[in-house]
Structure 1
Amino acid sequence: MYDNRRCKLNFFGASELLNSAILQYITSVTPSGPVEVQMCQSILPCHANHQGELGAGQLLKWMDTTACLAGEHAGMACVTASMDDIQFEETVRVGQVINIKARVNRAFNTSMEVIQVQEVLSGVTKRVCVAFSTFVAKPTGTHKVRKQEMLEYSLASERRRLRFVDISGLCSRKPVVPVVSTELMRVESIELGLPPHANHHGNTFGGQIMACMENVATVAARYQIQEHVYSC
């Protein structure tokens, strides 16, 4: 049986010019056990749209993979439940490299918390994405907690409180634009679940599902505005 637990994940990314694809996982092992995972991905044409920009769906898959690995290295078997809020602030292009670090800091009784991705281009750090991810984790044995982890644990609780306050505010706001018909903007996609789309539990990979949803949403948005759209 699975217990719902909420953990804080910090993602940091770096981008620089490289000649070949990089896929690298680095686990930081401490006396309390491995708690951090790092993934590096070179942005290739197959990851980008027709304008050479990294697709949001592909980024979601990488983020979800890194989050899952972080949970596993922290001693928990994790599966994606949802990704509540995502805000893309910078565009990543072909030829750059994304470096994503995931760290588990806290477990609540509902899900995993806070993801941050950063991009470094020519020595300048830029934040690419901020998101809130929800996971379901299987409980395991506990490890000794360090002072830094205790601080992050406390901050995660406050962020969680502010997050729910923000969600409540969004639900109470009135729409600022008139309602329009969506009949001509409706898009449907049927996807076949294959073994490469499954995680190590045999379930459809959460990142794959989010990528499909992002693709359909992008097509629907282009029908509406009749021009190139950006995920934000």
Structure 2
Amino acid sequence: MTTTKRSRESRTVLTDIVLPPDTNYHGTIFGGNVMAYVDKVASIAAMRHSRMQVVTAASDSFDFLAPIKTGEAICIEGYVTSTRTTSMEVFVKVEAEDLLTGERRQAATSYLTFVALDGNGKPASVPRVVPETEEEKWHFAGAQERYEIRKRRREQQRT
């Protein structure tokens, strides 16, 4: 198995148009739909990095920043930002795009954690991630702190 992989090797992008059935009575996409898209993109990124089956272990700091309206495109991009022995943190950015003007705005961000599974469904080792761009390095630099916060939160929930 490769011991390292670049962040860009896991980069996953999904674009879809927001139609009336996708929206609430405000004419904006349901938050749950956005969360489902984010989990899907993040899981693909984690599988691309590990080349194994994965399960979602955590979803934290899901921040909705702006609504996405009927007729706009939802653009989701995610990639692996850091790794531990068997887990991967994935950053996902959601943007809204006005398809008539091309204007984009950030609509949501999230970090999710996935665990890689071997053929028996047991946690398996993943390659270390190597960030290259300034953005990738910025996310990588904060990963340890986010890991500690997740760890404390899990411990608190167990007691």
1:112 aligns with 2:89: yes
Give the whole-Å Cα distance in 2 for the aligned partners of 1:118 and 1:57: 16
**What letter matches 1:101 in structure 2?**
E
1:77: which partner in 2? 53
Query: Cα 1:123–1:149, aligned 2, differ >3 Å: closer, same or farther?
Result: closer
Larger Rg: 1
- Post-superposition CA distance 1:157-193 (Å, at most 9, x none): 42124436878xxxxxxxxxxxxxxxxxxxxxxxxxx
**What letter matches 1:107 in structure 2?**
T
| Correspondence 1:214-225 to 2 at 5 A | none
1:51: which partner in 2? 26
Percent identical across equivalent pairs?
A: 20
**What letter matches 2:19 in structure 1?**
L
2:63: which partner in 1? 87
Give the whole-Å Cα distance in 2 for the aligned partners of 1:65 and 1:59: 10
2:36: which partner in 1? 61
Normalising by structure 2, we get a TM-score of: 0.67
Give the whole-Å Cα distance in 2 for the aligned partners of 1:150 and 1:120: 24
| Correspondence 1:1-232 to 2 at 5 A | 34-74=9-49, 75-109=51-85, 110-121=87-98, 122-138=101-117, 139=124, 142=127, 148=132, 152=136, 154-163=137-146
| Matched residue count | 136
Give the whole-Å Cα distance in 2 for the aligned partners of 1:42 and 1:108: 35
1:184: which partner in 2? none
Where structure 2 has 5 or more consecutive residues not aligned to the other structure, the ranges are: 1-6, 118-123, 151-159
Distance apart, 1:150 and its partner CA? 10
Give the whole-Å Cα distance in 2 for the aligned partners of 1:96 and 1:59: 13
Give the whole-Å Cα distance in 2 for the aligned partners of 1:105 and 1:86: 16
CA contact (8 A) 2:80 2:88 kept: no
1:60 match: secondary structure: helix
**What letter matches 1:78 in structure 2?**
V
1:127 match: secondary structure: strand
Give the whole-Å Cα distance in 2 for the aligned partners of 1:161 and 1:105: 11
Normalising by structure 1, we get a TM-score of: 0.48
1:62 match: secondary structure: helix
Give the whole-Å Cα distance in 2 for the aligned partners of 1:41 and 1:94: 11
Distance apart, 1:111 and its partner CA? 4.7
Distance apart, 1:151 and its partner CA? 8.2
**What letter matches 1:81 in structure 2?**
A
1:227: which partner in 2? none
Distance apart, 1:120 and its partner CA? 3.0
CA contact (8 A) 1:70 1:104 kept: yes
